[in-house]
Amino acid sequence: MAESVYDLRKALQGAGSGIEVRVGLVADVLRNVLQAYKKKDVSGDVVGVWMTSDEGVEERRDERDVKKACDEAGTSFRLCRDEKYFIDDRDVPNDRPNDLPDLFTAYRKTVEPLREAPRKALSVQGNLPPLPAYIPPQDSPFIAPQDLDDALRRLLAPLDQNSDLPKDAVTFPPKATSVHPFSGGESAAHERVKHLLSNGSMTKYKDTRNGMIGEDFSTKLAAYLALGCISARQVHTYLLDFEDGRTGIGRSAVGYGKGENKGTGWTRFELLWRDYMRLCARKHRHRLYRIEGFQSHASGRGEKGKEPEWRSPGPKDPEAQKILLRFLRGETGMGLIDASQRELWLTGYTSNRARQNVASYLAKHLYLDWRLGAEWYESQLIDYDSSSNWGNWQYVALGDRTFNPVKQGYDYDAKGEYIKLWVPELRQWDDVQGVFQAWKIPSEERESIGLNGVEWVERPLARIEYRPGGGGSRGGSRGGGRGGKNNRGKHHKRGS
């Protein structure tokens, strides 16, 4: 986020303008700025405040607080609709939020064909007005950062203190590297899209999107989209130019100039899914964060209409606290889950396939309040977006489908390479069944590789069975992930 802000600052300075960085709650910062201008009695004062809207409950609270500050100062306030999404709000076929279909497939059909649906992306023309001669200083007790390096030092200081983190937090495994090593900012976002088109990754995206190792198996544009570094319409424009052969970007890649292909088409599909999650948040508001979700009951957890018996850490269930901590630290005893949790903790990223498995495991195997997982992701993800994160957690945790992380391991990490990368304790074991389910490693072998007496190996949080080639499994999973034919979550079905 800091890199994105300072990249924006550089771009605005190049257009003859600039940006001021302040520390504090947004309404407090604005109130101090407005008051400072009044005290200074500068010519023109503040004409108005414009702010981009969001769908999150906390973000809406910020918007109300900013409006209140403007009203107190007698300053005009304008809340603008966010235009960084695939389908502009002016083109959404539903006049009222409550008219949004409860099935993604139904919504998708109202805006297809997706290649023709978005408006043209806008571009900056000429220079922008300069910043005013007088700019109020940072209000105490905070100190505004002087540059990006200073901002990073201040932002990372609380993490360096480790005050709220377990003392023996997970450490980076040897030879493991982040699959999301990118810098923030508009410049990096556009370079990322060009890279994906030029090396053919965008064309192959539909076939590779469920990968787990490497930088280019998925687009990894979500962080840039969430922070507004690039808009979905701009991504769409790049895709059109590639498909129609209008620019030299991707000229040597497969599919250049040959129209929409599986990869570019699925990229649009994913961009529309982000739109749909945002519209669901607009429709359901606070229910995005409620334990029962968008529905009055959780399908897939016992009888319909019966509230699930979620476990939450607290005096009534102290054992749940221990379970939660092992889950967060990647010590569940389930290889795929542990690898994903450790990767997330250390890098701020984990693949979409892993995220689905983690959400299903927490809710449907550990029976913990799914919001604990959603909040953990909120605190960890580089690409966090309120609507997408909480909406997708509901989609998995409250839907009918239950993922079997052992079967998923065989399907998407057949040699256990991803798990061994992030769970180095298992690197000395070759049998993938033991990599997926460490408790199945014979006790005499555990001794030789130093795993005897290790709690997560000998006492997994949940023993999930799966017999490869045995025609199914208890708690198993069929279908193809988000959009698979067996995804029957009442309000979250994503069509394929």
* Binding site listing for FAD: 205, 383-385
What do you get for the CA distance between the two ends of the chain, in Å? 33
Strand partners, 76: 48
Strand partners, 334: 437
CA atoms lying within 13 Å on the CB side of residue 263: 25
Q: Is 425 within 8 Å of 335 (Cβ atoms)?
A: no
CA distances for 200 relative to 195, 221, 244, 278, 445, angstroms = 8, 16, 15, 30, 44
| Lookup result for tokens 């999404």 | 85
**H or E segment and range at residue 77:** strand 76-80
Binding residue ranges: 205, 383-385
Residue 34 identity (one-letter amino acid): L
CA proximity to 377, closest of 364, 365, 393, 398? 393
DSSP codes, 263-276:
HHHHHHHHHHHHHH
Angle at 464 between CA 463 and CA 467, to 5 degrees: 130
Contact 111, 87 (CB under 8 A): yes
Amino acid code (one letter) for 120: K
Closest to 258 (Cα-Cα) out of 239, 272, 277: 239
DSSP string, 129-146: PPPPS--PPPPTT----S
